[in-house]
Structure 1
Amino acid sequence: MSKNKRAKAAIDDGFQPELVKSARFEGIFEIPVIDKPKRIFIPGGITPFSRRNEAPTDSEGIGFFEMDPMFADVLRNPQAYAKELKKFPVVISPDCSLYRDAPLTVQIANVYKKNAISHYWQTQGIDVFALVRWGSRDTYTTDVLPEPIAFAGIPHDSIIVISTYGCIKTKEDKYHFEAGLDACLRALTPKIVLVHGAMPEKVFGTYLKYAEFHNYPNWIARKKGG
């Protein structure tokens, strides 16, 4: 691709408007809405996208809980993978990273991208479960923004997916994760929460009465029998 064509693609198509041409939007940042799934399915496991060829297509959910480069092609061209992903009973929203130390603008952009791709896949007949990710305090409170951007476009009173993998290593990590979880449950009132990664009692114990929780070990722990 020529330099001019690359520049045009980045400027004109960076937010891939074709993904959201039929979308509804929510909030001041117009985040695409992920619809409630047509059916509630509790997957037997969550397989990483990069290992999808190892997953049984009748029982596994496909997730993106791995380093971003492992599914970079999906973020660039989600259309190319729609037919393949449709074979699975459920696909979880792409896990676009929300690092607490990233600029708030970047965190907002990744929320948008996650929801835009999820919406597009739903239009292609894929059952998508909404992943909820929060980063800095500004994403799950109204301290800075008039609305918690982490929860924009996520269905209420339905099923959601969250992940602790890499998010509860330090005391500060645990604080922000639990604070975000509390805000998430209050804002979305989910009926079912699928948790990818460790689910320690100290973090989750207070909240288990508010929804039906299902825990899934990360891929490495799963392969080790954890």
Structure 2
Amino acid sequence: MFLIQQPHTIRKGMVDCFNTFMVDGAEMSTPNDIPICYSTMQTPPKKVITYEEAKNSTDYDATVVFFKDDYKFDGSQKGIGSKPQECLNIVSKFAGVATPDFSTNLDFPYPLSIFNTYRMRSCGFWFIKNGLNVVNTVRWGNSDTWSYCFDGIPKNSMVIISTHGCINNNSDKSRYKLGLSELVKHISPPTILVYGSAPDDIFAIYKTSGIKIIQYPARGYQYV
């Protein structure tokens, strides 16, 4: 069952500080009211660059990703939340864009993690409404996040994930493997794009099962 998000109400003196305009007309998945973001990207990117790099790049064949610390693309003064149109102006020049990778850290309160998941899909939906070529970013934490972190992503669609900072020790790697297994179970993606390393002890099983794994190097980072 899905609900259609009605246009947000505008009244004198109102400031839409939560950017609710982004989900006008979106289908909202229940029970978590995460907007559905239908992927419009049909073929894997030729290359990817970060949002920071995109600000000064003319490599318009690239796809823009947000796999950096949140403050680098979501700062209080100049970020997606405070100046969404500025972000749109930047990413719309490029061949494609991944939905923003807002953090869902293990030590985050539950409401903050689910809000950031909502923001990932709402930004993606808004990008699509503005004609961009979009692929969904998937971010999970421990098993508590599985009840919402895959919401709003259609089954059988290509997705992008990152191993950056997620597999630095055995505990993190084990949690990552479990979450990846749940992703495959929930979404059944034909293709998984991986920003960072794609070690065989994590991804070989999916390659064998027929899922296409495409890896993009993350410059300046080491992985174990």
**SS of aligned partner of 2:167:** coil
Deviation readout 1:62-99 (Å, 9 max, x if unpaired): 00111111111123222222233122111001010110
Q: Residue type of the partner of 1:42?
A: P
d(CA) in 1 for partners of 2:23 and 2:86? 16
**Structure with higher helix content:** 1
Distance (whole Å) between structure 2 residues aligned to residue 127 and residue 112 of structure 1: 19
Tell me the TM-score normalised to structure 2 length. 0.85
* SS of 1:195 mapped into structure 2: strand
Q: What is the TM-score when the length of structure 1 is the normalising length?
A: 0.85
Q: Report the more deviating stretch, 213-222 or 61-70.
A: 213-222
Aligned pairs (5 A) from 1:155-194: 155-194=154-193
Residue type at the aligned position of 1:181 = L
SS of the residue aligned with 1:74?
coil
Task: Answer yes or no: is 1:99 the counterpart of 2:105.
Answer: yes
1:209 aligns with 2:208: yes
Specify the alignment match of 1:19 in structure 2: 22
User: 2:141 — aligned with what?
Assistant: 135
2:199 aligns with: 200
Shift of 1:54: 2.8
Identity %: 28
User: Which structure 2 residue ranges, 5 or more long, are not aligned?
Assistant: 1-12
Q: Return structure 1 stretches of 4+ with deviation > 3 angstroms.
A: none
Residue in structure 2 matching 1:44, options 46, 64, 67: 46
SS in 2 for 1:75: coil
Inter-CA distance 43–51: structure 2 relative to 1 (3 Å threshold): same
What is the rounded CA distance, in whole Å, between the counterparts of 1:207 and 1:198 in structure 2?
Answer: 15
Q: Are residue 33 (structure 1) and residue 39 (structure 2) matched?
A: no
Q: Give the distance between the partners of 2:119 and 2:97, measured in 1 at CA.
A: 16
Unaligned residue ranges in structure 1 (runs of 5+): 1-7, 141-147
* 3-state secondary structure, aligned to 1:120: helix
Moved more, 201-210 or 131-140: 201-210
Amino acid at match of 1:94: P
How much has 1:219 moved relative to structure 2?
A: 2.6
Which residue type is aligned with residue 163 of structure 1?
S
Distance between the aligned counterparts of 1:201 and 1:55, measured in 2? 34
Q: Is the 8 A contact 2:203 2:213 kept in 1?
A: no
Q: Which residue of 2 aligns with 1:153?
A: 152
Q: Counterpart of 2:73 in 1: which secondary structure?
A: helix
Contact 1:34 1:118 in 2 (8 A): yes
**Superposition pairs of residues 86-125 of structure 1, within 5 angstroms:** 86-125=92-131
